[in-house]
Amino acid sequence: MCFSADVSFTAGVILTVAGIVLVGKFYKKKELFLALIPLFFGIQQFVEGVLWISLRNNSYPQTYSLIAQYIFLFFAEMFWPIWVPFAFRAAEKVLWRRNVILGLMIIGFCFSYYIGYHFIVSASVRVKIVEHSLNYGVSPSPYRILYAVITLTPFFLSSIPKMWILAIANTLAFIVASIFYSYAFVSIWCAFAAILAIGFFVVLKKPVKKKLS
């Protein structure tokens, strides 16, 4: 997570366990892709924990830091803009909502390609510690807004009961990260989103099997 290696590893364990439990509940269900979100966030937090250690310990080879950095940025910048709309579309039953989310998924794919090529592959991004947080570079306002539209809109469009709670919570987290933590937006926003991913325990409920009479 954005504050220290210990916090990142702790969050990673909690999210991984939560993800495994949810995957067990929704195995072979359409909600499986949503249930995987906490697990993927857990992996992302473990990677950031490794990054913290490599940045604070000069004896670690720079290669470790670069590998951890690029894995984290892959999740943050490229993976979520595609996976979030994909997962919501897979779980959605209402046709018009599925169609709108499909459009967001296509936009997310284009966004991920652009970000991946221009800001991760082409540009030499170098993470650094700034005010007890990790700075992955400047995140322009247009980038933040488009990222929010792609990743937050599916929460509002979803017909899953109580998903609106996570929609509002994630939106507020995005606003706070964008306004008060602009110097480390990527790290802070991912940290908030990771914490809120635990909320899938509340909104996702395993369908009750009907008894045969």
Q: What is the DSSP letter of 132?
A: T
Which pLDDT score, from 0 to 100, does residue 92 have? Answer: 94
End-to-end Cα, the chain, rounded Å:
51
Spatial separation of the C-alpha atoms in residues 8 and 17, rounded to whole Å? 14
Q: In this structure, what is the dihedral angle of CA atoms 180, 141, 15, 97, given to the nearest 10 degrees?
A: 130
Which pLDDT score, from 0 to 100, does residue 66 have? Answer: 79
* Residue 15 near residue 190, CB atoms below 8 Å: no
Which pLDDT score, from 0 to 100, does residue 213 have? Answer: 34
Q: Coil, strand or helix: which one is 133?
A: strand
Angle in degrees, 0-180, between the axes of helices 32-56 and 62-73, rounded to the nearest 10? 150
- The encoded tokens of residue 9 equal 């590893």
* Residue 48 near residue 89, CB atoms below 8 Å: no
Spatial separation of the C-alpha atoms in residues 162 and 155, rounded to whole Å? 10
Spatial separation of the C-alpha atoms in residues 146 and 152, rounded to whole Å? 10
Q: Which residue has the tokens 């897979």?
A: 90
Closest CA to 5 of 115, 110, 99, 129: 129
* Residue 84 near residue 101, CB atoms below 8 Å: no
Query: Across the 213 residues of the chain, what is the mean pLDDT of every consecutive 10-residue run?
Result: 72 88 87 92 87 76 77 87 96 95 95 75 64 70 88 95 91 87 76 82 62 38
Spatial separation of the C-alpha atoms in residues 44 and 61, rounded to whole Å? 20
Which pLDDT score, from 0 to 100, does residue 72 have? Answer: 85
- The encoded tokens of residue 201 equal 């325990």
The amino acid that residue 62 corresponds to is Q
